[in-house]
Structure 1
Amino acid sequence: MIVRLVQRIAILVASLFVSSVVVFAFMAVLPGDPARVALGTGASDSAVSQLREQFGLDRSLVDQYLSWLHDLVTFDLGDSYISHTPIGPQLADRLLVTLWLVGTGMVIACLVAVPLGTLMAVRHRKPSGLVLSALSQVGVAVPAFLAGILMITVFAVGLGWLPANGWTPPADDPVLFVKQLLMPALSLGLVQAAVLTRYVRSSVLDVLREDYLRTARAKGLRPMKALVRHGLRNASVPVVTVLALQLATLLVGAVVIERVFVIPGLGSLLLDSVAGRDLIVVQDVVMIVAAAVLLVNFLVDLAYLLIDPRLRVRG
């Protein structure tokens, strides 16, 4: 168990290092001079050279990478090339907003997909199971941004129940915070729930065919009780894998949803920085997203050990 944990931590650290190299290299080969962009096309060469020295762009790429890596490790990300404001506080505030959105969307997806997927598997030969399966297929075909626009049209414009856009921190107004979070989180969560439902259904169907579940029913347990007590834990292993993959999809979807609902999250910051060619902010945001995905994969590996004792024995 401990050896396996140490191995996973080593893989996480190595993956973070490789990701940082790839992100930095990708940004380094992009055309354009950040100093020239910050000063404008009419700036003199001496002013551009002075600003390049201030940004550290006159040093070698290796020195620039090591300096950036040191800033990431120490959480001192410096100042923006364009706005000249500290990057760290911006990223912290925007990251918290995106975590609220993605986390709530993931919770909604799980709360919808697990019971519906299980019900679809148990009733897969009955009309209700076929109807639920058809509805999930429709949900897979609907992109998150379209679901968001439809919700705005119905619940904000048509019925006036919820605000169409905006963001209020929960400490300022909890009620308004929930109202503004509800539609974007549902837009992300319901679409992902449609995808996750298919995997839950498939996984539960595989478990229903196992001999140990037939034995449990033969001993007198009702089918649903036998499934809950003996089957769902085994069925959850592949579902946890899909959840990790869906997190990356949620993060990408959050970029669009934040634009649709005018939410000041990491996605909005990334798009604004790309439009303004503030490459250092783009570099930091991309690295944070990559680190988040790698960290979730690491946590999923640990979840495997908790869910399936056979993995601990093999380790």
Structure 2
Amino acid sequence: MGRYVLQRLLGMLAVMFVVVTIVFVIVRIAPGDPAAVMLGPDATPQDVAALRGRLGLDRPLLVQYAFFLAQLVRGDLGESIFLNQPVLSAIADRAEPTFFLTLFSILIAAVIAIPIGVLSAYKRGSLFDQSATTLAMLAASVPSFWLGLLLIQFFAVRFGLFPVSGYGGPGASFMTRLSHLVLPAFALGIVSSALILRFTRASMLDVLNDDYVRTARSKGMSEFRVVMKHAFKNALIPVLTVIGLTAALLVSGAVVTETVFGLPGVGSLVVSAVLRRDYPIIQGALLVIAALYVLINFLIDMLYLAVDPRVRY
């Protein structure tokens, strides 16, 4: 097990090193002078030169890269040009809505998809199976922002059950802020449930006809125990994989949904940074999102150990 964990940790470090290098290169090879773009057309050459010196863009490329790596080792992602605060602090201030939105979306998707996927595989070829598969394909093709607008129209505007947008005031309670996340979480969760449902169904179909399942039935076990204890547990690894990938995609893909619902999350921060050409924010957000991708994949790998002891070998 120790060797397994060590291999995954070394893999994480290698991936992050590649991501850091790519992010560094992309920002430096982008067309135009980043300092001139950030300051706008009215900036004087002296202002551009001063900003280039502040950002270290006047140094040789290898020196910039070494300085960039040294900053990352210290946990320093730079300072936002327009917010006048450290990038890590700016991202941390916006992390709460994005974190809870992603968490609730995944929970909603899993609660919807896993039971339906298991039952659909168990009733393969039935009307329920065909209906579930059709609805999953339909949900996968629906844009989350369009579904979000529909939810706003019906549950916020027409019935007044939930807030239209925002995240509550500075002193809002957790329950108040939670009420602002219900609609966007359902918009993302319903769309994300389609992929999880299809993977759950396919994985269950692979194991339901295996010998150990027939043996469990021949011993007189109840169908519920056979399906959930023997079949589902052995079909869980692909399901965990797709849930992890979905969570990683939601972290970076909730930009449009956060914009539709006016949530002050990381997505809206990145959108405003792109519009204002705030390169330190864009660069820092890319690194943080990539780090979350890698971390989520690592946690999924660790869950494999709990689900299937054979992974240790």
TM-score after normalising by structure 2? 0.94
Cα distance in structure 1, aligned partners of 2:179 and 2:303: 33
Shift of 1:69: 2.6
Task: Report Cα offsets for 1:179-212 as digits up to 9, x if no partner.
Answer: 1010011111111112211110111111111110
Structure 2: tracts of 5 or more residues without a match: none
* Structure 2 letter corresponding to 1:42: D
Cα distance in structure 2, aligned partners of 1:83 and 1:224: 56
The aligned length equals 313
Cα pair distance change 1:40/1:228, threshold 3 Å: closer
* Structure 2 letter corresponding to 1:59: R
Aligned partner of 1:225 in structure 2 is 225
Shift of 1:273: 0.7
Task: Report Cα offsets for 1:129-187 as digits up to 9, x if no partner.
Answer: 32222222221121211111110111111111111110137973223212101001111
Confirm or deny: 8 A CA contact 1:255 1:267 kept in the other structure: yes
Cα distance in structure 1, aligned partners of 2:169 and 2:114: 30
1:39-188 residue pairs with structure 2 within 5 A?
Answer: 39-168=39-168, 172-188=172-188
Paired residue secondary structure (1:49): helix
Paired residue secondary structure (1:264): coil
Cα pair distance change 1:182/1:170, threshold 3 Å: farther
Cα distance in structure 1, aligned partners of 2:12 and 2:207: 31
**Root-mean-square deviation (CA), in Å?**
1.7
Where in structure 1 do 4 or more consecutive aligned residues deviate above 4 Å? Answer: none
Q: What percent identity do the matched residue pairs reach?
A: 39
Aligned partner of 2:245 in structure 1 is 245
* Structure 2 letter corresponding to 1:9: L
Paired residue secondary structure (2:217): helix
* Structure 1 letter corresponding to 2:158: G
Task: Report Cα offsets for 1:35-83 as digits up to 9, x if no partner.
Answer: 3234432332223212221222211222222323332332233321233
* Structure 2 letter corresponding to 1:138: L
Shift of 1:279: 0.9
* Structure 1 letter corresponding to 2:58: D
Cα distance in structure 1, aligned partners of 2:192 and 2:121: 18
Cα pair distance change 1:175/1:291, threshold 3 Å: same
Cα distance in structure 1, aligned partners of 2:169 and 2:209: 48
* Structure 2 letter corresponding to 1:141: S
Structure 1: tracts of 5 or more residues without a match: none
Cα distance in structure 1, aligned partners of 2:16 and 2:171: 33
Paired residue secondary structure (1:191): helix
Confirm or deny: 8 A CA contact 1:203 1:238 kept in the other structure: yes
Cα distance in structure 1, aligned partners of 2:26 and 2:38: 20
Which of 47-56 and 212-221 deviates more?
47-56
Cα pair distance change 1:82/1:38, threshold 3 Å: farther
Paired residue secondary structure (2:82): coil
Shift of 1:108: 1.1
Aligned partner of 2:28 in structure 1 is 28
* Structure 2 letter corresponding to 1:8: R
* Structure 2 letter corresponding to 1:307: V
Cα distance in structure 2, aligned partners of 1:284 and 1:21: 13
Cα distance in structure 2, aligned partners of 1:169 and 1:92: 18
Confirm or deny: 8 A CA contact 1:23 1:286 kept in the other structure: yes
Which of 94-103 and 19-28 deviates more?
94-103
Which of 247-256 and 277-286 deviates more?
247-256
